[in-house]
Structure 1
């Protein structure tokens, strides 16, 4: 056994004396460490949040995630606009060990350029780079990315909503479309109700390391408002199909049809041709990306005469005994007014003015009324003012009035037969519908329900004002029936078994020096059954080869009206009279 030297013994004594002190120091340090660790369990929420945010800052980013956009349905619940889930894909370059392989696999699946992907991966200094810069991909394609073992670690998918219109071109000019990644409404209902349809977005803390799931913070996401329209999908299809046919048959440049429920102002169908596909609006002619029924203004021509006659009767200027002498020309206010056929008609009454569409007749009425009464009546009819239908882009038209610098006395005469002023189709049908609706003007209505979650808001029909009295409305209605019955008038609009109240129009098209030669806007406006109107219809054809409204728009109205009475199950006059005598319902509108 080796003996211990005196020096070694001294060192052992020193260690033995210091050991308790070292142990005590270690115990104290351990205790302090445990206390420090334990204190993190009871940090104040503010301090705890700060530590968490510092920790997340290096591995996460905050992104605004939009809510699902509200859906749009027709009156029967058929979808007109809904959303599809698609995906954007990006790569975290710091997690890529083989850039060439990742680029090759992504290029094959996403049908993108392999070199471009490789360049993005190898040159990006940030934590994440977007690969699908040309737009999101479908869920099927996204699943292929997720199932690829080479891509599972460095690739991150982000869900986005894409607006989809399942009916294609149907009602596209009413619906509009959305643009950009936020699905912002660009026209139509999509634009008018954009904020409500968009809902409320949320912020999400999204990990830049794909292994971690997103974590919602701060806000509750709220789905956008759903809209239920007054539009009937099947009727809209019928109207669009027929309109395309009328435009083609008449070699017209374009056309518009509006079908309105007479008693409520509800739009059952509204179409213009040509149109576009909102799913592919980017390739459409920019001129088509509007709603012509509410944006396009035009001089209405002779269909406007029904408003002048109504105003003259309401003011007391014209009654059943009123007549004038039509000499074929009227010189007043430094102009000469002639009838469209340049003929004279002798002594005529108010009904004959409408039946023969006499410019001199309505100009005489306007002169006898005077500008104050005439323009007061036109304002009541809403001419020159927005109807405030809930579709974006509505135009107000033009109505010059006394006191304005560009108004002259000649305007009173030309305005009486629909020249020198402008209207939109929705303005014109809303005004004419007041005659159909016993003198009450209805707010044109395109949305009948707004829905947010379980909250359903019904949008009831709105009476804007009384424009004319009931007796005046009935008098003008009876005159319009005679217009359609007269063999020299608009009899091509007649529908066997039904009394139709209507009026044709053939409007000149203004240009920089006056009016275009040989072109017109042909139109017809009417409602039926005349004694108890259910629908009011406006048809407008731009620059038809047949020129005259009586030869183009009137037969188009007849064809469409024959379809409408079948689809809407409106009994003919004989059946209605028998039902009325028995106390039954006399008409039906779906």
Structure 2
């Protein structure tokens, strides 16, 4: 009985052994057959991985076609792991040419996950470095030395953001990091338009088949309102002014008050966009990146033109209204004094502006009343963002009756720019109503865009009409006349300009104002009869003089001179004669 079962066991085992041998023979036949080569070739064709293909990022130009942000070809260096024959040779070549760590490269290759197909070793390699790598690879292939075999090493080119102007307009443009995300300025505000729509595709492992990757539409190209030449000159003037007057930082903005186009927007310090990794070494916080829109401050006497505009529009005063300045004005339990602690006697309203009398403007605000004063300031846009198309715009703050920290004395101090915060761009938008027949314009940086070969331009946008045309023209004349007095350093030969200084004490963390540190500002525009530029100057903590008339006003004049030259604005007499047909 036992022999019978033993025989059966041997029989079954023999059958299974025979089947196993046949399977092995069949596997060997399949692998060595002509069809096997076809199968292997077909498998290799499907060897690869899924990857997001990003479009070429849209370029950025100034209004005259100067490239401000573009793209350059860079290279990714990697290895197809199952094709690597000599990891040591690859590590040695890359460490030598690209200044990478030999041990790190070697460990990355040798310790890669088993399921990993492709390993990136370096990226954003310059064309010069790439040329050197390819030269070495070619030399090794010619020599045929297996000890230096670079099998498995591959290169893939792609685009990276480039900034040919480096720091020029950097506070406006912003930058793109290596994750292809825009930060600050235009790059962040219009990131989706510039970036385009990425596509998920299958990428073949064979670098010779890279042309099989589908093409995706490029991102949208943007055309800015900036004038590259005026921008560069404005930045030079700002940098020199910070040095001349010992100021910590500053900003200068040039805008067309008729349509809100930003022609130049300089801020210092600035970032070299080709080295955006230095951001943290230059700025303590994001609000410093573009002071013109990101950093509200107490502007001081430049606010007086808005107070006067409101009073004229209401009919509370006229240019001829007489006011006897005694040097002090009691209000809300406090006493308002002039900047020089002196009395100026009898003045008309132009005199109040020319001598920048706090007492006179405080009296005007009280005569207007809280509802009227704050109603007009709200219409001028204070306390609200302008809507400029740059990222990170701040709103500033206008305290109003009903706020827990508002007191009646604030009505008086707000009238001359103390206790209220605003950005330069907010004050420019508000003042555009005075230069533009009562019509306020929204400041903007985007002139147009290119998409699918077609250019689309954007029309100016109105921001409201806070004052009448008559009020605007009246105040224009008052400011043009007042600038000829104490602020005569802000004038330029051949052109009639209007403007106002602002010297503001800086509030301390203890709740009072510093007597030794100020913000010096100036806002002005011209030509008065046909304003084509508006300029705002803000110098932070100048040390040679705390007064705007000694610092910001002459800076305004320098920028105005460059503006009329670069924008090709003829002197007044020539324009007037031309308009008259002479």
TM-score bucket (shorter structure): 0.7 to 0.9
The residue number in structure 1 matching 2:546 is: 547
Q: Offset of 1:453 from its aligned partner?
A: 1.8
2:14 alignment counterpart: none
The alpha carbon displacement at 1:93 in A equals 2.6
Cα distance, 1:92–1:360 mapped onto 2, change above 3 Å: same
1:352 aligns with 2:341: no
SS at match of 1:136: strand
Deviations 1:341-382 (A, max 9, x none): 111122322111101101111111111111111111111111
Q: Give the Å deviation of 1:152.
A: 6.0
Aligned residues: 526
For 1:89 and 1:480, how far apart are their aligned partners in 2?
63
Partner of 1:508: helix, strand, or coil?
Answer: strand
Q: Contact (CA 8 Å) 1:205, 1:214: kept in 2 or not?
A: no
Counterpart for residue 119 of structure 2:
130
Does the CA-based 8 Å contact 1:500-1:528 persist in structure 2?
A: yes
Change (3 A) 1:549 1:101: same
2:182 aligned to which of 160, 176, 185 = 185
The reply to whether residue 415 of structure 1 matches residue 414 of structure 2 is yes
What's the counterpart of residue 130 of structure 2? 142
The alignment yields a C-alpha RMSD, in angstroms, of 2.1
Structure 1 residue matching 2:121: 3-state secondary structure: coil
Are the equivalent residues in 1 in contact too, given 2:382–2:426 (CA < 8 A)?
yes
- Is the CA contact 1:203–1:216 (under 8 Å) kept in the aligned structure 2? no
SS at match of 2:160: strand
Aligned partner of 1:82 among 58, 67, 70? 70
Q: Is the 8 A contact 1:266 1:446 kept in 2?
A: yes
Match of 2:21 in 1: none
Does 1:232 find its partner at 2:224? no
Map 1:215-294 to 2 at 5 A: 215-216=212-213, 221-284=216-279, 285-287=282-284, 290-294=289-293
Change (3 A) 1:381 1:151: farther
Tell me by how many angstroms 1:540 deviates: 0.9
In structure 1, the residue corresponding to 2:347 is in which secondary structure? strand
SS at match of 2:392: coil
Distance (Å, rounded) in 1 between the aligned partners of 2:70 and 2:440 = 34
Asked if structure 2 preserves the Cα contact closer than 8 Å seen for 1:176 and 1:186, the reply is yes
C-alpha contact 2:86 2:149 (8 A) present in aligned 1:
no
Deviates more, 1:262-271 or 1:72-81: 262-271
- Does the CA-based 8 Å contact 2:438-2:469 persist in structure 1? yes
Cα contact 1:204–1:215 (8 A) shared by 2 = no
2:350 pairs with 1:362: no
Q: Which residue of 1 aligns with 2:503?
A: 506
Give secondary structure in 1 for the equivalent of 2:338: coil
Q: Any conservation in 2 of the 1:435–1:477 contact (CA below 8 Å)?
A: yes
Alignment of 1:299-318 (within 5 A): 299-318=298-317
Instruction: State how far apart, in whole Å, the 1-side matches of 2:490 and 2:314 are.
Output: 30
Rounded to whole Å, the distance in 2 between the matches of 1:397 and 1:385 is 7
Q: 1:205 maps to which residue? A: 202
> Cα distance, 1:146 vs. partner?
4.3
Among 161, 165, 168, the residue aligned to 1:167: 165
Q: Determine whether 1:386 maps to 2:385.
A: yes
Superposed counterparts of 1:371-450, under 5 Å: 371-450=370-449
CA distance in 2, matches of 1:212, 1:168: 36
Pairwise CA distance, 1:98: 2.0
Q: Tell me by how many angstroms 1:210 deviates.
A: 4.6
> TM-score, normalised on structure 2?
0.86
> Any residues of structure 2 matched to 1:8-47 within 5 Å, and which?
none
Equivalent-residue separation in structure 1 for 2:523 and 2:62 (angstroms) = 25
2:191 match: 194
> What TM-score comes out, normalization by structure 1 length?
0.85
- What does 1:85-104 correspond to in 2, within 5 Å? 85-104=73-92
- What runs of 5+ residues in structure 1 fail to find an aligned partner? 1-50, 584-590
Once the two structures are TM-superposed, the CA of residue 523 in structure 1 deviates from its matched residue by 1.0
In the TM superposition, residue 57 of structure 1 has moved relative to its aligned partner by 11
Superposed displacement of residue 65, structure 1:
1.5
**Counterparts of 1:152 and 1:123 in 2: how far apart (Å)?**
18
Specify which of 480, 489, 507 is matched with residue 492 of structure 1. 489
Shift of 1:143: 4.0
Distance 1:151 1:384 in 2: 67
Q: CA deviation at 1:438?
A: 0.9
The CA distance in 2 between the partners of 1:254 and 1:527, in whole Å, is: 23
Residue by residue, what CA displacement relative to the aligned partner does 1:386-405 show, whole Å, maximum 9, x if unpaired?
A: 01111101000000111222
Equivalents in 2 of 1:433, 1:288: separation in Å?
30
Deviation at 1:212, TM superposition (A): 4.3
Corresponding residue of 2:145: none
In structure 1, distance between residues paired with 2:556 and 2:460: 26
Q: Which runs of 5+ in 2 are unaligned?
A: 1-38, 142-147
CA distance in 2, matches of 1:66, 1:560: 41
1:205/1:215 contact within 8 Å kept: no
For 1:97 and 1:104, the matched residues in 2 are separated by 14
Question: What is the distance in 1 between the residues matched to 2:263 and 2:335?
Answer: 42
How far 1:58 moved relative to its partner?
Answer: 7.6
